[in-house]
Amino acid sequence: MKKSFKTVHKHSEIEIIEKKSRFIANVLPVCNEQEALDFISNIKKLYYNARHNCFAYVIGGDIPIIRFSDDGEPSKTAGKPILDVLLGEKIENTVIVVTRYFGGTLLGTGGLVRAYGKAAKEGILAAKIVEMDSYNKIFISVDYSFIGKIQYEISNNGHILIDTEYLELVKFTVYVKSDLADDFIKNIINLTNNVANVLKGEEHFLKIIDGQVALD
């Protein structure tokens, strides 16, 4: 399983004008190809009267899914430059649709490539590139006498404390980067003289924004 990848934070919509032609870029983070196709379909319905709704998307995985369409524009002048923005930024699980309303002036193949690429790039910047890292949720139950050691191990090594319950035992719920999870568990067991009950949950991808984990 891939431990990290880049995607975008949110949906964005931007517009640029090139020689009176309007280029409207819509960008969306998606989890799978069907979500990308649904988004493309919705944009085409929204801008049903546009001459072109060109798109590209990349869905990550063991075998990445990469698709693009010029939607009637000259070959490789629209979908390909949109895709090149995604590939150039190494962004996955993202779809971009650039809608064009013709302004009456021909742009030529070079002009189209630049316009579609520029719209896609600005759409990506507006959507904000984020890192997705793989974390395991770790559950710890331990005697109160070990609270200080557990708290220090969590905070000193940059792990994310989600919750602490003070019951008969103290219960910590922590997010730990997946590639550090096994070592973290060993450290907890050693720190508590093998009396802590530690359970490793499934892997989850968490969004990293400006170096901070977003738990929403």
Tens-place pLDDT, residues 53-68: 999 999 998 889 999 9
208 with 113, same domain: the answer is: no
CA distance 14 to 55: 15
Q: Same domain, yes or no, for 11 and 52? A: yes
Q: Both 119 and 158 in a single domain?
A: no
Please indicate, yes or no, whether residues 120 and 136 belong to a single structural domain of this protein: no
Checking if the pLDDT of 15 tops 90, the result is yes
Taking the alpha carbons at both ends of the chain, their separation in whole angstroms is 23
- Low-confidence winner among 81-85, 88-92, 207-211 (lowest mean pLDDT): 207-211
Q: What is the pTM of this model?
A: 0.81
Q: Please tell me whether residues 77 and 142 are part of one structural domain.
A: no
Token digits for 4?
């990290």
Percent of the chain whose predicted confidence (pLDDT) is above 90: 81
Tens digits of per-residue pLDDT, 134-167? 999 999 999 999 999 999 999 888 899 999 999 9
Q: What is the pLDDT of residue 1?
A: 52
Check pLDDT > 70 for residue 2. Answer: no
Question: For residue 191, what pLDDT is reported?
Answer: 93
Q: In terms of Cα–Cα distance, which of 91, 110, 116, 103 is closest to 30?
A: 91
Question: Is residue 116 a contact partner of residue 23, using CB atoms and an 8 Å limit?
Answer: yes
pLDDT one-digit tens code per residue, 33-59? 999 999 999 999 999 999 899 999 999
Pairing relationship of beta strands 12-18 and 129-142 according to DSSP bridges: unpaired
Q: How many domains does the chain have?
A: 2
CATH number, domain containing residue 34: 3.30.230.30
Output the pLDDT for position 216. Answer: 58
Residue 97's domain comprises: 4-127
Residue 215's pLDDT is 64
Cβ atoms of 201 and 136 closer than 8 Å: yes
